[in-house]
Structure 1
Amino acid sequence: MTFTLNWAILGAGNISSQFVFDLLLNNERATGYHHIIESIGCSSKEKGEEFIKSNNIVLANNYLTSPTTQTYEEIYKNPDIDVVYIGTPHTFHKEQAINCLNNGKHVLVEKPITVNKKEAEEIFEAAKKNNKFCMEAVWTRFFPTIEILKTKVYKEHVIGDVHRLFADLSYQCDVKSLPVTSRVRDRKLAAGSLLDIGIYPITYSRILLDDKVGSKASKFEQKSFLTIDKDDLVDHLCSIIIKYENGRQALLTSSELVDGPKAYVRLEGTKGWVEMYSDNPARAKHFKIFDKSGKEIFEYKDDSGYNGFIYEANAVGNDIKAGKLENEIMPHDESLLVMGLMDQIREENGLKYDQD
């Protein structure tokens, strides 16, 4: 049995290209999910046509559908679209998501869903009012790797009692060489390492130290530091300590000033530890488990060829098919929990944006 979803892609940047790659590869493999790209929404027709060409969206891999290039307003009004993937900068997410929902579209909104918790609440209110599915695109949660790792650690107890997590997403992007108007530095785009990449170490702490989500989440407390650049006034270095009520702790870091370690996640227990590796720490594709002596006892690699966005796209398809308005793995209140945590971290460290 097949299920077809007609997608619009809002935003023609790199993240949208990676998302589209997975949809097209899925279609070439003739799975039960038919992800049809109906429209590309962007600032100019020329940019949209270049996106279609550079990503090789052709009849053969798009179920005989040739996508159109449309303005954002045309996307909102297009009756042929079921769901919109929003891959624009997060400062635009609230307005764009609400416009999609108010015009009868389901939405998958790239992380962070908004700049702050207040804006996210407005999106979810619009979703409920319009009876439409809405989810923040935290793709990391949907990788098969995550489910396999959780089974090994929490059902098979291969590393014993879990006590500590280290998680990092850092890369050296030579910040000082970039103008303050660049995507990495621009306060008007709510730039900074916390919202852009620090959300991923936070996500790993939520996934690997707590088996509950959203309103059912285990209680925790946090302490944090942001180093805020004196010229662009955003953070490029972030450190967070999380302590759960059961005593487990996480040290979470992000930076745009230095490269991170090869093992970007290390989960430690009484009988051993886990290390995770990837070219992109947001992409949970590879982990190894070691016993106390340092002997490798298990390894898993996702060799599917997908970037990894297909897993959340298929989850969206399953939920829409079932008539659900939110996803059990990434429900609305989990997004609100994380956005609220990041609001608190920014407030404590004096980092405010216009949206606040």
Structure 2
Amino acid sequence: MSITLNWAILGAGNISSQFVFDLLLNNDRKTQYRHVIKSIGCSSSVKGQEFIKNNNITAERNYNVTPVVQSYKELYANSEVDVVYIGTPHNFHCEQAVSCLENNKHVLCEKPFAVNRKEAEIIFNAAKKHNKFCMEAVWTRFFPAIKELKEKVYHEKVIGDVYRLFADFSYSGDVKNLPLTSRVRDRSLAAGSLLDIGIYPITYSRILLDDQVGQSASKFEQKSFLSIDKDDLVDHLGSIIIKYENGKHALLTSSELVDGPKAYVRLEGSNGWVEMYSDNPARAKHFKIFNKHGNEIYEYKDNSGYNGFIYEANAVANDIHGGKLEDAVMPHDETLLVMGVMDDIRKENGLVYEQD
């Protein structure tokens, strides 16, 4: 049985390009999922046409549909669209997601879902009011590698009792030479490492130290340090320690100032450990398991050719086709939990945005 989903892409930047790459590769492979791109919403018609050309969105690859380029308002009103993928910066997410939902569109919105928990609640309340599916696009949770690793850790218990997690997302962004108006430094755009990339180490702690989500999550507490730049007044270096009620610890770091380690995740247990590797710490495609003597006992690689966005896109297709309003892997309450954690971290370190 095939499932057809008509998409609009809101925002014509790099993240949207990566998402579209996966939809089109899926279509090329003629899988059971038919992801049809109906509309590209962006601030400029020229930019929209360039997006279509640069990403090779042809009728042949898109089930005989050539997408239209539309303004945001035109996209909201497009009755041929089932679901909108929002790939804009997070300071725009609240207004754009609510506009989509109010115009009878389902929503898949990039992470971070909003600037703070208050905005996330506004979006989810709109989704419930209009009876629409809505999910934060935490693609990392949907990778086959994550499913495989959780099976090994939680069910097969290949590393025994889990005690500690190290997770990092860092890159050298030459911040000091960027203008204060840069997306990385502009406080009015809710810039900083915590919301942009620090959310991923937090996500790994949620995935690998707790097998539950949302309201069922295990209780934990956190301590944090953010280094606030004296010129742009946002964070470019952060460290978080999380302690779960069962005693497990997570040491989480993010930085836009230095490159991170090759093994960006290390999960330690009584009988061994796990290391994860990737060109992008958000892209969970490769891990190795070692026994306590340091011998490699298992390796997993995702060689599908996808960037990795297809897994969440297919999950959205299944949920909408099944009449669900939220996803079991990434429910509303999990987004609210993580947004609340980041709110608390910012409060602890004196990082405030206009949206607060």
Instruction: Indicate the TM-score class for this superposition, using the shorter chain for normalisation.
Output: over 0.9
Letter matched to residue 56 of structure 2? N
2:161 aligns to what?
Answer: 161
Which structure 2 residues correspond to residues 158-237 of structure 1 after superposition, within 5 A?
Answer: 158-237=158-237
2:123 aligns to what?
Answer: 123
1:75 aligns to what?
Answer: 75
1-structure distance, mates of 2:281, 2:298: 20
Letter matched to residue 225 of structure 2? F
Query: Given the alignment of the two structures, is residue 246 of structure 1 paired with residue 246 of structure 2, yes or no?
Result: yes
Query: Given the alignment of the two structures, is residue 24 of structure 1 paired with residue 19 of structure 2, yes or no?
Result: no
Count how many residue pairs are aligned between Structure 1 and Structure 2.
Answer: 356
2:99 aligns to what?
Answer: 99
RMSD over aligned Cα atoms: 0.3
2-structure distance, mates of 1:202, 1:243: 12
Letter matched to residue 31 of structure 1? T
Identity %: 78
2-structure distance, mates of 1:324, 1:81: 18
Deviations 1:66-117 (A, max 9, x none): 0000000000000000000000000000000000000000000000000000
**Residue aligned with 1:9, SS:** strand
Q: Structure 1: which 5+ runs fail to align?
A: none
2-structure distance, mates of 1:116, 1:157: 36
2:54 aligns to what?
Answer: 54
1-structure distance, mates of 2:204, 2:283: 11
- Tell me by how many angstroms 1:289 deviates: 0.2
2-structure distance, mates of 1:110, 1:31: 24
- Tell me by how many angstroms 1:60 deviates: 1.0
- Tell me by how many angstroms 1:228 deviates: 0.3
1-structure distance, mates of 2:14, 2:113: 17
1-structure distance, mates of 2:211, 2:187: 35
2-structure distance, mates of 1:77, 1:23: 23
Deviations 1:38-84 (A, max 9, x none): 00000000000000000000011100000000000000000000000
2-structure distance, mates of 1:63, 1:209: 42
2-structure distance, mates of 1:238, 1:60: 46
Q: Structure 2: which 5+ runs fail to align?
A: none
Deviations 1:291-329 (A, max 9, x none): 011100000000000000000000000000000000000
2-structure distance, mates of 1:345, 1:212: 22
Query: Given the alignment of the two structures, is residue 89 of structure 1 paired with residue 89 of structure 2, yes or no?
Result: yes
**Residue aligned with 2:125, SS:** helix
1-structure distance, mates of 2:92, 2:137: 15
1-structure distance, mates of 2:93, 2:294: 45
2-structure distance, mates of 1:336, 1:157: 30
2-structure distance, mates of 1:54, 1:271: 48
**Residue aligned with 2:316, SS:** helix
| Structure 1 runs, 4 residues or longer, greater than 3 Å off | none
- Tell me by how many angstroms 1:154 deviates: 1.1
2-structure distance, mates of 1:157, 1:80: 47
2-structure distance, mates of 1:3, 1:292: 45
**Residue aligned with 1:185, SS:** coil
